[in-house]
Amino acid sequence: MSQLQPAFYTRTGSVAGDLMSLMHWPYTLWHLSYVVIGAALAPDIDAVILSGTVLAFLFGLGIGAHALDELHDRPLGTRLSPSILRVLGWGGLVVGGGGLAVAGAILVSPWSLIWGAVGILLVATYTLEWVNWVHSDLGFAVAWAAFPVMAGYWAQAESIGLPVIVIAAAATALSMAQRDLSTPARHVRRRTREASAVVGDENWDRQRLLDSWERPLRSLAIAHVLLAVALVLTHVV
């Protein structure tokens, strides 16, 4: 029997496919957009600082966290060796994210080191399941949504105000909605070959069930990226 496709965007089975799948691109772009949204709330945007902040989260979340997650319990079923996953995981998290935090300390403020350390701790604690309350839907939303918003804003303004806290809370709620949609979709995709549900007088098969969760996820990922781009454009157009 063929291997179950673990997510709608994965194409595992080759080294290139495994690496692309490992990035979880729709969700990675979604959560990087929170960094940009936070930065766009600042009175002015420094493009160099914004680029560095986005890269730090790309290395830390997009590469580091996902590689460590795959190393931990193989949710994607890739054939990448443990040594490769360790290099990508800790390299992305510590060398990529941590290195850019050091650069931020030089270019922006020594406080960048604190933001970097908190980010690395949140990612490692959640991904490796060190603390139960962090490895939860709320912990995910705080680490992957609220924290990027506030870090993106702080990197530009070097302060945190009420508006950005409210936006971070909104990002948390949106991320919780993401989990409400993605959790049942993952369960059906990774654990079943056949699934159905009777909805009124209709019988929904496995694909229709998946579409009911994954189509909104695709739309939300696109919407977040477009919103981030639009907010940046308000500073340049």
- Please tell me the distance from the alpha carbon of residue 166 to that of residue 204, in angstroms, as a whole number: 39
- Tracing tokens 């340049």 back to the chain, one arrives at 236
Fill in the amino acid letter for 104: G
Query: What residue ranges do the domains of the chain occupy?
Result: 15-236
Handedness of CA 72, 78, 80, 81 (dihedral sign): positive
pLDDT at residue 60, as a whole number: 93
* Contact between 22 and 75 (Cβ < 8 Å): no
Give SS3 for 204. strand
| Percent of the chain residues past pLDDT 70, beyond the cut | 99
pLDDT at residue 133, as a whole number: 81
pLDDT at residue 230, as a whole number: 97
For 155-187, letters b (16+ CB in 10 Å) and e give bbbeeeeeebeebbeebbebbeebbebbeebee
Half-sphere exposure of 187 (CA within 13 A, CB side): 9
Tokens at 39, concatenated: 């930065």
| Percent of the chain residues past pLDDT 90, beyond the cut | 84
pLDDT at residue 92, as a whole number: 93
Based on the number of CB atoms within 10 Å of its own CB, is 73 exposed (0-12), middle (13-18) or buried (19 or more)? exposed
pLDDT in tens, 30-68: 999 999 999 999 999 999 999 999 999 999 999 999 999
- Please tell me the distance from the alpha carbon of residue 97 to that of residue 59, in angstroms, as a whole number: 6
Assign residue 132 a region: left if phi > 0, alpha if psi is -120 to 50, beta otherwise?
alpha
Give SS3 for 41. coil
- Of 187, 205, 207, 208, the C-alpha closest to 196 is 205
Tokens at 235, concatenated: 């500073």
Helix (H) or strand (E) holding 50: helix 47-57
Fill in the amino acid letter for 208: R
Give SS3 for 198. strand
Q: What is the mean pLDDT of residues 199-218?
A: 94
pLDDT at residue 200, as a whole number: 87
pLDDT in tens, 65-111: 999 999 988 999 999 999 999 999 999 998 888 999 999 999 899 99
- pLDDT over 70 at 1, yes or no: no
**C-alpha to C-alpha distances, 226 to 30, 149, 237, nearest whole angstrom:** 10, 16, 15
- Please state, rounded to an integer, the average pLDDT across all residues of the chain: 93
- Please tell me the distance from the alpha carbon of residue 92 to that of residue 22, in angstroms, as a whole number: 13
